Amino acid sequence: MMNRKEISDHQKLLEGVDDVLDTAYSLYAEFNEAFNGLEPVKFKSYQTKSDFSFEPSEILFKLDREAYFAELIQWYGNNVKSKHKDLIKYLKEEGKLNTFSELVLSIKRKKIAPFIGAGFSTVKPLEYPLWGKALKEIVNRLEDLELKDVEELLKDYKYLEAAEMLLEKDSTQFINYINDRFSLRRDFTKDDIFISPLKLIPQITSGCVITTNYDRVLEEVFKYSSKPFEGFMHGKQPNSRFVTDLIRGDRCLLKLHGNVGEPETYIFSLSQYNDAYGELIDWTRPLPKTLRQIYISHSLLFLGCSMEQDKTLELFKVIKDQNEFDVPDHFAILPKPGSGTKKREKENRLLEINIKTIWYPEEKHEFVEKLLELANDVANNQLKI
């Protein structure tokens, strides 16, 4: 029989084991609560009139972990299926389940390259402005100048031409606005930055990400996810090794319009676009060459993008029409246009460059997060659709 000291030493040893087990047990708090029911299991004390109370999930975890995890997996599967039931029904009704399944397959094969637009940075508390709003804010800063011509261009959504004029009027104020407005606030915490649906991006890709945004939110999201980017290309940045990083499979970020705080990389005016791409698209220049490599080797997933005609889509159209490469399928998650005609016209225009659309109800932007969660769960074999 053990003596008192041996019992005390044994107790201390087991307390260390219990700490590890308790930490593991606490990871499944939601399942534990569902499993426990209303009343704990009670045992009477051998020496006193008091009772010992234990939750059923805790007893199962400590006594038969194999059974515990079998129950956990079953519960999780049922929970995931219930969580996504309405969304799967919606995809079926819209006739987009096959397209969604193709997207999931690209995620599984690690071939998805998210293309993040300004729509992902407008959410609170980030609230970065869309390009049209940003240009109007610059106009307000230059209120002492005659800017009627610029305002007319903005009304006609001619943002490149408007930016060109504003740069000519006062390039110092223009660049200072970009540096100031798109900087990441120092008081932002992980919770401010790691917001949905941005937090889901590191879960669906392990390679290349493209963005039109100047801000540094994506860099922070991937850093907080313990998946920091290893390669970068910022706008007109020369001598980048981005394509090498891309081919090698490194996590790399292409910031099409430049990086905040690096004015030499900015692309926001007509002349800067022409300089970066060439007036007729010059494939010897870094940006067109890089975009072509991504377009023919990955499946792009456009998120937070309007998908209206711009230089990037024009470039993809040229590649497709030249018919020199086998172009994979690409995907875009977009709000459904108000009319059937607009929906059909937009869908046709995108299909011509191998971009398949998954529509969600107009103004219900929370669908984007739900679709990404569903895609991630299916890709990780948590659910079959």
Tokens, residue 125: 């508390």
Domain boundaries, the chain: 4-63, 87-127+184-379, 131-181
Q: How confident is the model at residue 214 (pLDDT cuts 50, 70, 90)?
A: very high
How far apart, in whole angstroms, are the C-alpha atoms of residue 214 and residue 209?
Answer: 14
Residue 368 has pLDDT above 90, yes or no: yes
CA atoms within 13 Å, Cβ hemisphere of 130: 12
pLDDT category, 76, cuts 50, 70, 90?
A: confident
Residue with the bigger pLDDT between 119 and 360: it is: 360
Nearest of 216, 210, 211 to residue 183 by alpha carbon: 216
Residue whose entry in the numeric block shows the structure tokens 């941005």: 198
Q: Are 192 and 167 in contact (CB under 8 A)?
A: no
Which tokens hold the place of 15? 């307390």
Cβ neighbourhood burial of 205 (10 Å; 0-12, 13-18, 19+): buried
Q: How confident is the model at residue 114 (pLDDT cuts 50, 70, 90)?
A: very high
In terms of average pLDDT, the best of 59-68, 81-90, 145-154, 290-299 is 290-299
Q: How far is CA 356 from the centre of its chain?
A: 18
What distances in angstroms separate CA 136 from CA 44, 174, 270, one per listed residue?
73, 11, 17
d(CA 368, CA 270): 31
Assess whether pLDDT exceeds 80 at residue 373.
Answer: yes
CA distance 254 to 276: 14
For the segment 293-319, what is each residue's pLDDT rounded down to a tens digit? 999 999 999 999 999 878 899 999 999
Which of 16-25, 119-128, 346-355, 373-382 bottoms out in mean pLDDT, i.e. has the lowest? 16-25
160-178 tens-digit pLDDT: 999 999 999 999 999 999 9
pLDDT at position 362 over 80: yes
Q: How confident is the model at residue 14 (pLDDT cuts 50, 70, 90)?
A: low
**Could you tell me if 198 and 218 are in contact, meaning their C-beta atoms sit under 8 angstroms apart?**
yes
Paired with 331 in beta bridges are: 301, 356
The Cα 175–Cα 330 span in angstroms is: 34
The HSE-up count of residue 197 (CA atoms within 13 Å, CB side) is 23
Is the pLDDT confidence value at 5 over 80? no
